């Protein structure tokens, strides 16, 4: 069972345009009919009195998503203008997005995974590089550097060049090094703490001033035993 987040979401940046939070693992980015009573970022921020704008009515302000057990930096918009501007930046690949990930297996010191991702033909909740519904595939590029290797684990710094659904999880599973704890894309058993993935770095341009801003956080409590 997903642990329900108690308390306010940690806010790292907030002005009249955008808000950046440190999303806890287990919290959804936004509500979804299939998720029942699971807690989500949009609802929690609204309960904290944050007014979000832009996007669809069921996910206001959501510029980019993080998967449920991916923790770390997530940006939302507080105005329609900021939403449109930041969406354009993400689409143009003008935002630098970096993650820490712990994956099973030993990898070369660095690499580039360039494989299209589409909707899985057999499991609706999954995406795939190998068995996707024809026509749903899109270009997907992931670049990584190995930070540390353990007996059968690699700790990697990942940069997303594109931003497809489940991209890091799909790409590393495709090269037989799935993210630790990810039962959806491997035969690992489901763990209460989920998979080990953290969004730790965003470099972006402010939608009103065009100032280049870098937002970065240290490894989380879950990942710091691996990231040294």
3-state SS assignment for residue 57: coil
Tell me the three-class secondary structure of 67-123, residue by residue: CCCEEEEEEEECCHHHHHHHHHHHHCCCCEEEEEEEEECCCCCEEEEECCEEEECCC
- 51, with CB counted inside 10 A (0-12, 13-18, 19+), is exposed
Distance CA 214, CA 205 (A): 9
Count other Cβ atoms within 10 Å, centred on residue 212.
10
67 is catalytic: yes
CA angle 13, 70, 127 (to 5 degrees): 130
**Annotated catalytic residue within 40, 58, 67, 84:** 67
**Paired sense of beta strands 70-77 and 197-205, if any:** parallel
Distance CA 221, CA 224 (A): 5
- 154, with CB counted inside 10 A (0-12, 13-18, 19+), is buried
Distance CA 148, CA 109 (A): 9
Residues belonging to the active site: 67
């Amino acid at each position: 069972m997903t642990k329900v987040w108690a308390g306010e979401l940690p806010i790292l940046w907030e002005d009249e345009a955008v808000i950046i939070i440190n999303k806890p693992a287990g919290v959804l980015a936004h509500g979804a009919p299939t998720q029942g009573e699971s807690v989500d970022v949009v609802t929690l921020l609204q309960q904290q009195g944050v007014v979000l704008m832009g996007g669809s009515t069921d996910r206001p302000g959501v510029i980019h998503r993080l998967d449920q057990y991916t923790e770390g930096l997530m940006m939302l918009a507080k105005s329609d203008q900021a939403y449109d501007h930041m969406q354009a930046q993400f689409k143009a690949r003008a935002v630098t997005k970096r993650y820490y990930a712990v994956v099973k297996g030993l990898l070369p010191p660095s690499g580039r995974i360039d494989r299209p991702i589409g909707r899985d033909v057999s499991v609706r909740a999954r995406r795939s590089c190998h068995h996707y519904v024809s026509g749903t595939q899109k270009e997907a590029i992931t670049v990584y550097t190995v930070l540390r290797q353990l007996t059968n684990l690699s700790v990697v710094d990942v940069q997303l060049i594109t931003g497809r659904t489940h991209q890091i999880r799909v790409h590393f599973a495709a090269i037989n090094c799935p993210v630790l704890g990810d039962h959806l894309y491997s035969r690992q058993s489901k763990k209460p703490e989920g998979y080990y993935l953290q969004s730790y770095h965003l470099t972006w341009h402010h939608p009103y001033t065009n100032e280049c801003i870098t937002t970065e956080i240290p490894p989380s409590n879950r990942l710091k035993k691996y990231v040294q």
